[in-house]
Each structure stands twice: as structure tokens, then as C-alpha cells.
Amino acid sequence: MRAVRFSRFGGPEVLELADLPEPHPESGEVRIVVRAAGISLSDARKRQGLMDQELPQTLGYEAAGVVDELGEGVTDVAVGDQVFGFCGAGAAQAESAVLSFYAPIPSSIGFASAAALPAAIETAMRALDQLGVSAGSSVLISGASGSIGSAAVQLAVARGARVIGTAAAANQQLLGLLGAEPVVYGEGLSGRVRELAPGGVDFALDVAGSGILPELIGLAGGPQQVLTVADFLGAQQYGVRFSRGDSGRALHALTEIGPLIASGRFQLPPVRGFPLAEVADAHRAIEAGAASGKLVLLAG
């Protein structure tokens, strides 16, 4: 099968479609014929040598497709079912991939939209779970218009929380449509938030990593009420919790998102697709800042 791989670090030109052995699922896993695989800025960072150092490397942790092989003990899906989820091996950008965690694709969406969901909704759900956001609480989300931020806004609203979201002026209307009270980020942010919530907020979530943890701490009443998924060094400096995938994944997001989509309480992010063979062009679009919405590679 063909899979995206690189054998040296560098620019998009180091990416290749290599012929690799077909993977096979272990107990509790399924293999899919990949129809779409998510791609993100972290893929470019891996390719540049800014993350994992081993070579060669494959890419991709989220995908959607059609089940064609079942691992031992799998009874909740059958061959031919359409599923989406996580590829623990980091090799989802391929013609076939093994999903370690998966769920049926909601009936109202296609493969490309499904492949755009796993990382964003799991990260957002995990952050809200770890903060303890629930009905009646208030949460400030910094960087609320991106893929993770907009997912966090909608998931928090679905829980019955009051959401204040920060974004650029051009994205204020979007935040309102998602159910947040929008605030423009930048100098004077604390004052603008306090105009909406004079007593501050119960929790604050940093998705943008823009260096505003001190302001979030002040608005939420202490570092224990703040969580970041984007500012590891700031978290260490200010005593704020940093959340990542190895700190307990919120895999229930995969099964819970379908009803939210069906009921109209979750709007899908815009998706732009590239053929698998044009993965280098997708990386160029990400690095040039020309990627609006989520990028996916189309393998089928």
C-alpha cells in the first residue's frame, strides 16, 4: 500500500509516497480502507525535525474510512462499516490504516468531515473534562475560533455552560453563531471580559498559546482554574495545568459527537481536501498560512 513517509528532515519536498506493507489490527482494533486522513501543523513540525527524531517517519493520527479487517474481540462494528477515529501508530495518511479507537461516522457527514474531527473534539472534550466545566459554570476560551477552540465552545455550550470566547475582530460573528459571547483579543482583554463578567469566570482554557496565562489566571481566580493545551512553558512558569493526549484521553468524544451534529448543536469546521499524492502541497499551504479550516488528505 502507499503511505506518506519521509526519510530525512526538511521542507515539503522530503515527503514521498512509499510502498509499505499493509498493517493488520491487533486485539480491539480495526483496519480501514482510508478515504480521508487529517493533516495539521504538527505534521509539518515532525517533518522539520522539531518533534520526533527517528527516521524514517510516517504521518497521520486521525482518519475515516471503511472497515476491511477486524482485530480479535471486535464486535461493535463489522467489515463494510464506515468509521472514524485515531491511528495510534501515526500512519493514517495512507491507503490503509489501523484505528486503535474508533466510532461510526455520523450519518449526516462524509469521510472528509469525519477525518477532520477526532483530534479537535478529543482535545476540546479532554480540556473541558479536566477543568470540570459543567452546566451553570462559566468558561473563558482563548483562541476560540480555531478548530480546537470552536469545538470547545460548542461542547461547553452543549453542557449548559456560559462561554466567553476570544478571537480576532473578523471572527466575532462566528463565535456568536457558535453560542459564545465574543471578545476581541489583545491589549485590554481583561477589561473587556470583565464588562461581560464583572466577577470573572469560573474557568479559563488557553487554546491559542499566545502568552496570556497571567490574564487568564486573574480572570479565573487562580492558576488551578486555568488549563492550556498550547503553552507548555507558560504552564510551568505560572503553575497552570497543561493537557496533552497522554494525560487521559477523552475518547468518549468520538461517540458523543454524532448526536450533537444530528441535533444541530455542533457545526462542522470547513474542510479543504488534497489528494494523497499532493501531500507536499498541503504542507506548503499550512506553512504559508493559506489553510483556512481543516486540511485532509483524500486517499480514496
Model pLDDT for residues 220-259, shown as the tens digit of each residue? 999 999 999 999 999 999 999 999 876 678 999 999 999 9
10 Å CB burial of residue 96 (0-12, 13-18, 19+) is: buried
Residue 267: pLDDT over 90: yes
Residue 295: pLDDT over 80: yes
Is residue 111 located within the same domain as residue 158?
no
Is residue 15 located within the same domain as residue 36?
yes
Is residue 110 located within the same domain as residue 129?
no
What pLDDT does residue 244 have?
83
What pLDDT does residue 215 have?
97
Is residue 176 located within the same domain as residue 216?
yes
- 15 φ/ψ angles, rounded to the nearest 5 degrees: -75, 140
What pLDDT does residue 290 have?
56
Is residue 43 located within the same domain as residue 113?
yes
Residue 128: pLDDT over 80: yes
Residue 259 counted as domain residue = no
Count how many domains the chain has: 2
What predicted TM-score, i.e. pTM, was given to this entire model?
A: 0.93
**pLDDT per position as a tens digit, 59-100:** 999 999 999 999 999 999 999 999 999 999 999 999 999 999
Is residue 173 located within the same domain as residue 283?
no
Is residue 112 located within the same domain as residue 130?
no
Q: Which amino acid is at 28?
A: G
Q: How far apart are CA 274 and CA 36, in angstroms?
A: 9
Residue 50: pLDDT over 80: yes
What pLDDT does residue 292 have?
62
Domain containing residue 217? 120-247
DSSP string, 184-219: E-STTHHHHHHHH-TT--SEEEE-S-SS-HHHHHHH
What pLDDT does residue 247 have?
64
Residue 20: pLDDT over 60: yes
Is residue 47 located within the same domain as residue 107?
yes
Is residue 111 located within the same domain as residue 137?
no
Whether the ω angle into residue 56 lies within 30 degrees of 0, i.e. cis, is yes
Is residue 190 located within the same domain as residue 231?
yes
Write the CA distances from 77 to 65, 66, 101, 293, integer angstroms.
13, 11, 12, 30
12-290-6 Cα angle (round to 5): 15
Is residue 131 located within the same domain as residue 167?
yes
Q: How many CB atoms lie within 10 A of CB 132?
A: 12
